[in-house]
Amino acid sequence: MSVLSGKKIVLGISGGIAAYKTATLVRLFIKAGAHVQVIMTPASKDFVTPLTLSTLSKNPVYSTFYNEEDADAQWNNHVELGLWADLMIIAPATANTLSKMANGTCDNLLIATYLSAKCPVYFAPAMDLDMYIHPSTLASFAALTQFGNIIIPAENGELASGLSGQGRMAEPENIVAFLEADLESKLPLKGKKILITAGPTYEAIDPVRFIGNHSSGKMGFDIAQSAANLGASVTLISGPSHFTINHNLVNVVRVVSAQDMYDACHQYFEDTDVAIAAAAVADYRPKIVADQKIKKSEDNFFIELEKTKDILASMGAIKKNQFLIGFALETENEIENAKLKIQKKNLDLIVLNSLQDAGAGFGKPTNKITFIDKDFVVEPMELKSKEAVADDILNKVIAHYA
């Protein structure tokens, strides 16, 4: 999955021949999973039509401060557009537009939106080779770079003038690759390896029946998604769950029993920076597993159980520099029991769930947690979606490495 997935992109198009390439650029953004809002300068519409870009972006295209054809003369709010964006890119960025950006010459909707933007701004210059190296253009580059804007350098090639040299706007595929590489390099968990467990375990009674629990695995999968979106390389060890994940930074290892999960965790733990044990692992399993389906013959049936291996405690016993996070699902004496787990299992942080809290627990889209760290600092959180809870957990990881 591209790092651009889910990103809100404002694409500003100025009036140069390279504007024709923006149809492909918009298509690539959409294919990567981004949401695109196009703003055109009036001159750019001589090179590519708003209808084309609106069709590809699935959004209306804006060009002026208000739509003259509308009877109500509705205002196109440049402030809202600038604040909506996760990132803004001006492509092509002509010498004229670059000069306006550098000097704050706010005479069109694109520049007004640029001046209102709070997000990272990228610009892809496009002009003839002599214009590209002219002192005024170089001064614009320097000023915009000083502002924190990021240049996507022009490429060498044949230009509209018939000359050949630098000044050709970067190809759409190269612009997308540049953005992805730049965004990935700045992700807060880039280079970290995170081990996450998720879901229930099934402990066999016979070839048909098992002991399990109601865990869906959603919390663990949401943590894995959030960690990967932040740049981490994730190993997700999941018990039986219908959830799936599609991200190139997530390796899903499917297991069934507590022993399977134990073995998988110890396979990956040594090479891990962070381990987050979100799985609901069975505490007990049948001591003897029948080879054949047990027939219903007696009025009473007894199964002798034995303890499973404590996966979290076993990781705590051998951890070196790993940041180890456990989960606790309690029904009484929640805080006291969670603190005991921190000590017994050598945890750095525990995520406490209480079945007494409405909206928390298995099979629900929301969760209400309390963080308790190894110093016993207690931080209760509000009821949130499990996706938001996952982000909160990963923010604790980010803070640990800050």
Domain boundary among 185, 205, 222: 185
Q: Residue 295 domain-assigned?
A: no
Q: Residue 2 domain-assigned?
A: no
Q: CATH no. for residue 47?
A: 3.40.50.1950
* Averaged pLDDT of the chain: 93
The predicted model gives 171-182 an average pLDDT of: 96
Ranges of beta strands (E only) in 179-336 are 193-198, 203-204, 210-211, 233-238, 250-254, 274-277, 284-286, 305-307, 323-330
Domain boundary among 150, 185, 220: 185
The predicted model gives 206-215 an average pLDDT of: 93
Q: Residue 296 domain-assigned?
A: no
Both 137 and 239 in one domain: the answer is no
Domain boundary among 146, 168, 185: 185
Q: Residue 65 domain-assigned?
A: yes
Q: CATH no. for residue 380?
A: 3.40.50.10300
What is the pLDDT, as a whole number, of residue 195? 98
- Residue 367 annotated to the active site: no
Own/partner contacts of 151-155, CB < 8 Å, gap of 24 or more, are 151/122, 151/123, 151/124, 151/125, 152/89, 152/91, 152/122, 152/123, 152/124, 152/125, 152/178, 152/179, 153/125, 154/124, 154/125, 154/126, 154/127
Both 173 and 204 in one domain: the answer is no
d(CA 394, CA 230): 9
Both 135 and 209 in one domain: the answer is no
Global confidence as pTM: 0.82
Q: Which of 213, 251, 337, 346 is catalytic?
A: 213
Tens digit of pLDDT for each residue in 289-312? 999 999 888 888 899 999 999 999
Please name which of 159, 218, 229 lies closest in space to residue 190, comparing C-alpha atoms. Answer: 229
- How many domains does the structure of the chain reveal? 2
Inter-CA distances, 315 with 57, 254, 268, 367, 381, Å: 48, 19, 11, 25, 27
Both 205 and 177 in one domain: the answer is no
Domain encompassing residue 346: 193-290+302-401
Both 172 and 320 in one domain: the answer is no
Q: Residue 353 domain-assigned?
A: yes
First-to-final CA distance of the chain = 26
Q: Residue 319 domain-assigned?
A: yes
Both 179 and 198 in one domain: the answer is no
Tens digit of pLDDT for each residue in 365-398? 888 899 999 999 999 999 999 999 999 999 999 9
